[in-house]
Amino acid sequence: MTDRRRARDAERRAHRITVYLDSEELQRIERVSETSRLPKGVFLRRVGLGSTVKPVLDPAQLRELIEVRAELGRVGGALSRWIRALPAEGATTAEVRQMLEKIEGVAEEVRSKVRAL
Helices 23-35 and 40-48 pack at an angle, to 10 degrees, of: 90
Please state whether 39 falls in left (phi above 0), alpha (psi between -120 and 50) or beta: beta
pLDDT in tens, the chain (117 residues): 566 776 676 677 778 888 899 999 999 999 888 888 888 988 898 998 888 887 777 778 778 888 888 888 887 787 777 777 766 666 677 777 787 888 888 788 877 877 776
Tens-digit pLDDT profile for residues 86-115? 666 666 777 777 878 888 887 888 778 777
d(CA 58, CA 80): 33
Stated pTM of the model: 0.44
Contact 65, 117 (CB under 8 A): yes
Q: What is the dihedral of CA 103, 104, 109, 111, to 10 degrees?
A: 120
